[in-house]
Amino acid sequence: MTDFIESTPSPNHRAARATMLLRLFSLDAWEPEWDEQALAALARSWFAAPLALDPGDSGLGLPGSHPQDGPQGAVVAGPLESLGDLLFHPRPPLALLKRSKDFFKRQTREYPDGSPAWQVAYLFYLLSIAAAGASQITKMAAGDFLQGIAWALGQPWVEVRAKNLLQQAADRLRPDSPSAAGDS
């Protein structure tokens, strides 16, 4: 039974084996007291996930994650090496945020609603939208987005900087908020 491991010669074969292994790494059959720590650890790992797709590298494969690829070709200040760098960047490239949003949207479809893996994927889906200024990369209704943010703000495993980003996005969306008035 345990003699199934073989070498991994081709990229497609590697991807297939990764899919298979991922299912065994994502059983999420924790003892209940472990849920929160496991969710927080998974979120931390996603923040640290590398963006660039270099030969032999295990990045997210978001092309153009270089400083010269900022909005309208402008040079982006600060490094853009990890997903966290992108989400918390003062002027993040919208194209990368859209790809990040699409990636995590697909992730949410691969796991049962409400499962730990789904929750983390949904958080990063929301964060990608929030970092882009909400309406710029999604057609999601503002009400649905705010509902998602309310859910995320209520999760104890979501770190403060992520909550701040979501809160700022929510503030901008509310018509009576000062930042919303400033944006209009």
> Nearer to other proteins by C-beta: 57 or 113?
57
- Smallest distance, Å, CB 72 to other proteins? 25
Distance CA(174)–CA(25), nearest Å, equals 40
Phi-psi domain of 69 (left: phi exceeds 0; alpha: psi -120 through 50; beta: other): alpha
Q: Which pair of tokens denotes residue 8?
A: 């991994």
| Beta-bridge partners for 82 | 50
Nearest to 96 by CA among 139, 54, 118, 127: 127
Q: Which pair of tokens denotes residue 118?
A: 């789904």
- Smallest distance, Å, CB 162 to other proteins? 10
- Smallest distance, Å, CB 27 to other proteins? 5
Q: Which residues bind other proteins (CB under 8 A)?
A: 1-2, 4-5, 7-8, 11-12, 14-31, 33-34, 36-38, 40-42, 44-46, 48-50, 56-61, 103, 106-107, 117, 153-154, 156-160, 163-164, 167
> Nearer to other proteins by C-beta: 50 or 64?
50
